[in-house]
Chain A
Amino acid sequence: MLKEQCDITTQEFQLNMGPQHPSTHGVYRAILTLDGETVTNVENVMGYLHRGMEKIAENRNYTQFIPYTDRLDYIAPALNNWAYVGVVEKLMGLEVPERAEYMRVILGELQRIANHLVYVASFALDLNGFSAWMYMFRDREKILDLFEMVTGSRMTLNSMRIGGMPSEFPSEFIPALEKLLEELPGCFEEYDGIVTGNEIFHARTKNIGIMNAETIINYGIGGVNLRAAGLKYDLRKEMPYSVYDQFEFDIPIGEQGDCFDRYVVRMEEMRESIRIIKQAIAKMPDGPIMAKVPRIIKPSKGEAYFHIEGAKGWLGFYLVSDGSTNPYRLHIHAPSFVSLGAFPEMSRGTYIQDLVAILASIDIVLGEVDR
């Protein structure tokens, strides 16, 4: 780009970004090839947080692995719990009681809101909107308080069990949740004021990092980043799992798949999540919260793939059982990892400051990328 505009000789050079760079959201590192300020290539370097989760799973029994899933996508642990217990239940053919499914929906959608709050906060922070960070974290704190009420833990929830839920919600939980749901729409308006309508934010995100739906599909990226590119496709609606077929909600989509669309879709999704939670509270049936599960979990020989609409994309688990108490093989299909695969193509030809916006907009978390 630069070369065509001016008649000067330029030379490409390489610049290292990360792994300690604040805008890489953890220990992600990129080797940038630059021509002046224009990015000509990006090479992903990851694995700094690799803990061998899939190998660990082979050495733990089925129940023992649930807390490990908290440490994959540590911004959205409840959804990881859900996908993992879901695959074991699918393999064992367990029928989860309806009440437990409703409890999962409530926790899962709360977690989605908490995840998107961190997303919006760190996106704004990466674009130098320092004050925005505090607004979202103030409200995320309230969600974490609710999680603490239910599970005793704020971030590493360990909130689900194979076959259902470990315990009922405490009696003070639903009133506190309803109070929060009343407050949140007002908070979202605050965010709209401080971020969505901000002119600098527009300038930094609109028409930046565009990727159309076809390319996104070719990259195997499902979920919220795909919807931002304009395709109305949500696993909760298209292939409903759990009790999602019982709720009414809309699927927000973006227009062209730039950074701004990816942001707006998530803002809208938080509002839809509130709708889902409200319906779940109203419809929640009485009954048991745990299926009849054998004391020692030993799925018969076989395999299963189960994926859910995670906070960052389609979170899938592929489980192979040999009939023993430990998984024979557990593969984790992490949405952040797959999204990073498209990052080099999104960034090519942009400026170096746009690259920071693009990385923030695809929403990665390194616990999940490196596993």
Chain B
Amino acid sequence: MDITNNIINKFGDKVQIVEGSDYPTFIINKDSFLDIVTELKEKPEFNFSFLLDITAVDYEESIQGVYHLMNLVQKNIIRLKVNLEKDKPAIPSLVSLYKGADIQERETFDLMGVYYEGHPNLKRILCPDDFQGHPLRKDFSMGIRGSK
């Protein structure tokens, strides 16, 4: 059966599908995020054992955490999105599920200022420790003429 229908059947109104994307894309509420990802990883019918990518995007109304998960056997990729508050975006960390989340969450914290709750070592990774601000936020200016 189609993976999109599978997920909708399982999680019902906890997931909201985004039409017209390259991969099945779902918007999830922050509160049910960790439970849903746990089931997607552990349940054999989903088996999303591979964390492809973690990142975040700064939109006007919210910071959006973006996750790509992959099922290596059935070769499915899905995208999960979680809308977070702008002033202090916080989301449960995935380190307990995927070890690979550690370094990627630190990167997103550093560059986008997303707080990953439960991360064992959430500190800056690419910018210097005493750096002010989060460079990938839209309100962070590079201070160069003509740049945004």
Contact = CB atoms under 8 A, between A and B. Distances in A.
A341 B99 contact: yes
B135 interface: yes
> A44, A238, A329 — which one has the most chain B CB atoms within 10 A of its CB?
A329
Contacts of B50: 217, 220, 222
Interface in B94-118: 98-104, 107, 111
Contact of B55 (A219, A220, A331, A341): A331
A318 B126 contact: no
B53 A47 contact: no
Contacts of B34: none
Contacts of B79: 305
Given A222-B50, A318-B68, A329-B58, A302 B21 contact: yes
A55 interface: yes
A304 interface: yes
A248 to B, nearest CB: 20
Given A220-B50, A305-B68, A318 B55 contact: yes
Contacts of A154: none
Interface size, A (range): 35 or more
B88 interface: no
Nearest to B103: A341
A219 B111 contact: no
B135 A218 contact: no
B143 to A, nearest CB: 11
B107 A337 contact: yes
Q: Is the interface of B mostly helix, strand, loop or mixed?
A: loop
B22 A46 contact: no
B1 interface: no
B72 interface: yes
A341 B102 contact: yes
B41 to A, nearest CB: 10
A302 B75 CA distance: 23
Contacts of A316: 52-53, 68
A228 B134 CA distance: 37
Contacts of B142: 52, 55, 59
Nearest to B102: A341
B100 A238 contact: no
B3 interface: no
B104 A338 contact: yes
> B103, B107, B136, B146 — which one has the most chain A CB atoms within 10 A of its CB?
B103
Contacts of A217: 49-50, 72
Interface size, B (range): 35 or more
A320 B57 CA distance: 8
Interface string B57-95: 110000000101000100101010000000000000000
Contacts, number: 101
B51 interface: yes
B120 interface: no
Interface in A324-371: 328-329, 331, 333, 337-338, 340-342, 345, 370-371
> A50, A222, A331 — which one has the most chain B CB atoms within 10 A of its CB?
A331
B23 interface: yes
A328 B138 CA distance: 10
Contact of A218 (B77, B100, B128, B146): B100
A110 B95 CA distance: 37
Contacts of B52: 220, 222, 305, 307, 314, 316, 333
Contact of A338 (B103, B125, B136): B103
A47 B135 contact: no
A215 interface: yes
21 contacts: A44-B103, A54-B136, A58-B148, A59-B142, A90-B22, A218-B49, A219-B99, A220-B98, A220-B99, A238-B72, A303-B21, A304-B22, A305-B52, A307-B52, A320-B57, A331-B55, A333-B55, A341-B99, A341-B100, A342-B99, A370-B126
Given A55-B135, A337-B103, 16 more contacts: A47-B126, A55-B140, A90-B22, A217-B72, A219-B98, A220-B51, A220-B52, A220-B100, A305-B22, A305-B68, A329-B58, A331-B55, A340-B103, A341-B100, A341-B104, A342-B99
Interface of B: 20-23, 49-53, 55, 57-58, 66, 68, 72, 75, 77, 79, 98-104, 107, 111, 124-128, 135-136, 140, 142, 146-148
